[in-house]
Amino acid sequence: MPNIFDIKLVFTQIPALLEYLPVTLAITLFSMIIGVVLGFLIALIRIKKVTGLSASLAVFVSFIRGTPLIVQLYLSYYGVPILLKYYNYYNDTEYNVNNIPALVFVLLAFSLNEAAYNSESLRAAMLSVDKKQIEAAQSLGMTPLQVLYRVQIPEAFIVALPTLGNTLISLMKGTSLAFVCSVIELTARGKILASGSYRYFEVYVSLALIYWGLTIVTEVMLKFIENRLSVPDAPIKKVGAVSHDRN
Amino acid sequence: MIEINHLSMKFQHNTILDDINLTVAKGDVVAIIGSSGAGKSTLLRCLNRLEQPEHGELRINGQSFDLARLTRRELVRLRQQTAMVFQQFSLFQQKTALENVMEGLLVVKKYSRARAKEIALAQLRKVGMLARADYYPKQLSGGQQQRVGIARALAMAPQVLLLDEPTSALDPELVTEVLDVIKQAAQEGNTMLLVSHEMDFVRQVATRVLFLEQGKIIENGTAQQVFDNPVHERTKAFLARYNRRFEPEYVI
């Protein structure tokens, strides 16, 4: 049988590819964390309708959602150095663009992208919180901040979790675009490997398997968290637990 | 001692509360009755400022609050003097019965976890919910949820307990268990303002009954006075249906 498709290579090169898994995971995690925190702030500002800020953030969200991720990466990669040059010009400073690692541009673009998308799901989740529970918390004498972190955030988080999981998964696969900013992660590593052996198809099959595996692991983890957080319909009987179970 | 002075509230052009003045002595159980839309719930909700009235002063234990203009700090202080029991129970859905009762003690009163738990368990025992302390609201019946709601309010040791139609969302079988708990709390000397349509219960438990009509108190007296000898025509009409039950269906 001719060796047109080298199925063995698909698996044997996976360890070499996985050397760059940490880069992919680092970009994903960092952007997700910044994206959730920033997205939450945007959501709060838009819910509270903070004058001026609210409208400009709406424009920001619209822009991010209205442009392709790859274009945003290019904007970050070429735009930040230009901004820096202007800054140097007007402030008589000598910051060198070449000292900034390429990863920074990638993280910037991904974080802002995530923040925009997350802000919308978090906004919806915050608005979905039962008004009766908020009133109950207020009537106990909680300050607005206490109501926010004792009632609104825990309630909203559960609603937002599936959507946040969705964006996490698409972000993880989106990191494969980081090569346009000359950051080497899983996909870029694959391309480099293939350019030596000319076995491009095999490398893409390996990559597909890796991304799929990562997604499955993420899905399982999300499902686990969701199960842990959701209140079961029937009470769980603790066997042998010492408790206050006597009237 | 609680004093409400000149409490008024408008919603656009509708007057919801019209210059309400009321004094409630410590340990009083004041029942507010009246038809739907008379302003009963709004009156209670104004007292812990879930609604903002146009005018109105509230004095609790010598502290005076201008209900129309409260700073954030005053607002929190006012709400710590009052506690509310809601028609729809309004328990925190992500917390167990015990955590629901502990919540205010931990977050607002800043009690230690051990002390909060001790108080919460004692309150749950009083309302007969100790065995269900680890249940979540959606695992409880309506009556049980409302008993937890009452425990949550009482745990805060408020100067006045505000009960906003506490049994209206319950089926007749569950009403009794909740009313028993309220009665017990009344007998323990808690000052209460109670909005209710349970006339028999009001008659039993209230030391004073107010009849509210279009935002005005038109009747104010003991249960006996208001139920047996109402002054106002409107009150007579409202109570006619209730009183008719004592008459025979047919007279031959």
Per-domain residue ranges of chain B: 2-91+161-246
Q: Are residues A118 and A163 in the same domain?
A: yes
- Which DSSP helix (H) or strand (E) runs through B165? none
Instruction: Look at residue A153 and tell me if it is in a domain.
Output: yes
Q: Are residues A79 and A5 in the same domain?
A: no
CATH class given for the domain over B2-91+161-246? alpha beta
Q: What is the pLDDT of residue B1?
A: 83
CATH of residue A63: 1.10.3720.10
- Which DSSP helix (H) or strand (E) runs through B193? strand B192-195
- CA-derived radius of gyration, chain A: 23
Q: What is the pLDDT of residue A246?
A: 44
Q: What is the pLDDT of residue B166?
A: 92
Over residues B167-171, mean pLDDT: 89
Q: Are residues A60 and A171 in the same domain?
A: yes
Cβ-defined contacts of A45-52 (< 8 Å, 24+): A46/A119, A46/A123, A47/A123, A47/A126, A47/A127
Residue A242 touches chain B, beta carbons under 8 Å: no
Q: Are residues A41 and A156 in the same domain?
A: yes
Over residues B209-223, mean pLDDT: 91
Q: What is the pLDDT of residue A132?
A: 93
Q: What is the pLDDT of residue A10?
A: 87
3-state DSSP assignment of residue B40? helix
| A141 to B135: CB separation less than 8 angstroms, yes or no | no
Residue B194 touches chain A, beta carbons under 8 Å: no
Q: What is the pLDDT of residue A244?
A: 53
Instruction: Look at residue A6 and tell me if it is in a domain.
Output: yes
Question: Alpha-carbon distance B213 to B237, whole Å?
Answer: 12
Residue B94 touches chain A, beta carbons under 8 Å: yes
Q: What is the pLDDT of residue B182?
A: 93
Q: Are residues A214 and A116 in the same domain?
A: no
To the nearest whole number, what is the mean pLDDT of chain B? 91
From B79, B103, B139, residue closest to A138, measured CB to CB: B79
| A138 to B88: CB separation less than 8 angstroms, yes or no | no
Q: Are residues A193 and A219 in the same domain?
A: yes
Question: Alpha-carbon distance B77 to A141, whole Å?
Answer: 7
Per-residue tokens: A202: 């095999």
Question: Alpha-carbon distance A168 to A178, whole Å?
Answer: 16
| B136 to A235: CB separation less than 8 angstroms, yes or no | yes
Instruction: Look at residue A212 and tell me if it is in a domain.
Output: yes
Residue B226: HSE in the Cβ half-sphere, 13 Å Cα cutoff: 29
Q: What is the pLDDT of residue A162?
A: 93
Q: Are residues A123 and A155 in the same domain?
A: yes
- Give pLDDT tens digits for B44-86: 999 989 999 999 999 998 889 999 999 988 999 999 999 999 9
Q: What is the pLDDT of residue A237?
A: 62
Instruction: Look at residue A190 and tell me if it is in a domain.
Output: yes
Residue B100: HSE in the Cβ half-sphere, 13 Å Cα cutoff: 34
Q: Are residues A11 and A44 in the same domain?
A: no
Q: What is the pLDDT of residue A242?
A: 47
Q: Are residues A121 and A202 in the same domain?
A: no
Q: Are residues A29 and A102 in the same domain?
A: yes
Q: Are residues A96 and A198 in the same domain?
A: no
Nearest CA in chain B to A236: B135
Please give the share of chain B, as a percent, with pLDDT higher than 90: 64
Our measurement of the distance from residue A226's CA atom to the centroid of its chain's CA atoms, rounded to an integer in Å, reads: 17
Per-residue tokens: B45: 């909700």
Residues in chain A where the model's pLDDT stays below 70: 1, 236-247
Bridge partners for B160 per DSSP: B82
- State ipTM: 0.89
Q: At residue A137, what is the residue type?
A: A
Q: Are the C-beta atoms of A145 and A213 separated by less than 8 Å?
A: no
Instruction: Look at residue A247 and tell me if it is in a domain.
Output: no
Q: Are residues A53 and A146 in the same domain?
A: yes
**Chain A neighbors of B121, CB-CB under 8 A:** 244
Instruction: Look at residue A245 and tell me if it is in a domain.
Output: no
pLDDT classification of B30: cutoffs 50, 70, 90: very high
Residue B144 touches chain A, beta carbons under 8 Å: no
Q: What is the pLDDT of residue B163?
A: 95
Residue B48 touches chain A, beta carbons under 8 Å: yes
Q: What is the pLDDT of residue B157?
A: 93
Instruction: Look at residue A121 and tell me if it is in a domain.
Output: yes
* Residue A118 belongs to domain spanning: 22-132+140-175
Q: What is the pLDDT of residue B23?
A: 92
Q: Are the C-beta atoms of B59 and B26 separated by less than 8 Å?
A: no
Q: In the predicted model, is pLDDT for residue B38 greater than 90?
A: no
Q: Strands, E, within A86-235: which ranges?
A: none
Instruction: Look at residue A57 and tell me if it is in a domain.
Output: yes
Q: In the predicted model, is pLDDT for residue B105 greater than 80?
A: yes
Counted domains in chain A: 2
Question: Alpha-carbon distance A21 to B164, whole Å?
Answer: 58
